[in-house]
Amino acid sequence: MKKNLFFTVLLLPVMILQSYAQSGKADKVLLAKADETLQFAARQYKHMMTHVPDSVLPRTTDTRDGSLMTSNSTWWTSGFYPGTSWYLYEYTKDPAFKAEALKRMALVEKEQYNTHTHDLGFMMYCPFGNALRITGDTAYKTILLTSAKSLSTRFNPTIGCIKSWDHGTWKFPVIIDNMMNLELLTWASKVSGDKKFAAIARTHANTTIKNHYRPDYSSFHVVDYDPATGAVLQRKTHQGAADSSAWSRGQAWGLYGYTMMYRETKDKAYLEQARHIADYILQNPNMPADLIPYWDYNAPGIPNALRDVSAASVAASALLELSRYTNKADGKRYWNAAEKMLTNLCSPAYLAKEGENNDFILMHSVGSLPHKSEVDVPLTYADYYFVEALLRYKQWAK
């Protein structure tokens, strides 16, 4: 029985969903542009293959001298480049992308045992989940289940959350980004039959709704808890403009995370949360006309504040999926917003030129402006969710 369940789950795509009741009306111009952009992305990443040393992963551009900045496997973004390589292999069927993904995954594989980070979803599920989905090689199942077990060690049942960081002055910090790592746990329950993984994911998501979100459905970045009592000690920011502000990528993480949690659980509370977050984003008075957000919706200097393309990529991918779960009117609204985001991301304002931008696809993301880190540069996760969104658009448009 369990064997049959596993192969049933394996046939379901991990990242790009095959069948839902609704899909959006195709914009023929954007469909053509999506193909053109994916072909460009493939050429750009072919260049990157030749420029990244074999022992590291691409990360961003060094703002000091414009050179390529890389990371080792412990950095939280290490899974995105091989994950994007799998997406490009799926699109092009070019074996060079599969070979590249496998080469970089060999660097990351040992992180399955890492119990010192909450980012194992990003690090492991993006590359190994896609590898399992695309190749059907069940060897990846063991790696992913070990990763889920490692992530689960960071869960505190008194608090009801997975601890994000082991550094800083906080006692038990939980960041909104952590919603993105729950998909690894819901997957682990489905394929293993062990319900504890999904229970942790749901408890974390529920606690986050309770303590991270303001009445207007904007999110705090960091909530610090007392590990002994579960009480909220403080609500802060680490990468946003202020503790009271709405850091744009954090809003996108939440939108994507709760959309995913609805897909995995069919719990309507998660769908309602995702809808409210989407409406906060799209109806925000500080959202630019092209729907590419400022790095913080309350950033000083608006309208001259920097944009964060990574927030737009994550949000666009999430909105496409959310559009499939809502009523027709809201679905159309979310779909159209995602189309506008993608159309503008495909424009010269944000899309790099071939052979430039250190071979990344998109320009103008912001990692952490308060720390003067990764400011107005390409980011590997902006590329990942952008390619994912383009593939989703091509698959779901009708």
3-state SS assignment for residue 387: helix
Return the beta strands (E) in the chain as ranges. 57-61, 68-71, 155-156, 161-162, 173-175, 222-225, 232-236, 365-368, 373-377
Given the residues 177, 296, 308, 359, select the one marked as catalytic. Answer: 177
Q: What are phi and psi of 169, to 5 degrees?
A: -90, 0
Rg, the chain, Cα only: 19
Ordered DSSP codes for 222-251: EEEE-TTT--EEEEE-SSSSSTTS-BHHHH
CA dist., res. 157 & res. 267, Å (int): 21
> Is 383 part of the annotated catalytic residue set?
no
Q: What are phi and psi of 351, to 5 degrees?
A: -90, 130
CB 323, CB 338: distance < 8 Å: yes
What tokens were used for 324?
Answer: 């499939």
CA dist., res. 355 & res. 212, Å (int): 41
CB 321, CB 259: distance < 8 Å: yes
CA dist., res. 353 & res. 341, Å (int): 19
Classify residue 2 as exposed, middle or buried by CB count within 10 Å of its CB (0-12, 13-18, 19+): exposed
> Is 376 part of the annotated catalytic residue set?
no
> At what angle are helices 95-108 and 28-51 packed, to 10 degrees?
60
CA dist., res. 181 & res. 204, Å (int): 11
CA dist., res. 23 & res. 7, Å (int): 26
**303 preceded by cis ω (within 30°)?**
yes
Given the residues 27, 119, 224, 296, select the one marked as catalytic. Answer: 119
3-state SS assignment for residue 347: coil
CB 298, CB 286: distance < 8 Å: yes
CB 340, CB 315: distance < 8 Å: no
Determine the distance from the C-alpha atom of residue 396 to the mean position of all C-alpha atoms in its chain, rounded to a whole number. Answer: 19
Total residue length of the chain: 398
Question: Which residues belong to the active site?
Answer: 119, 177
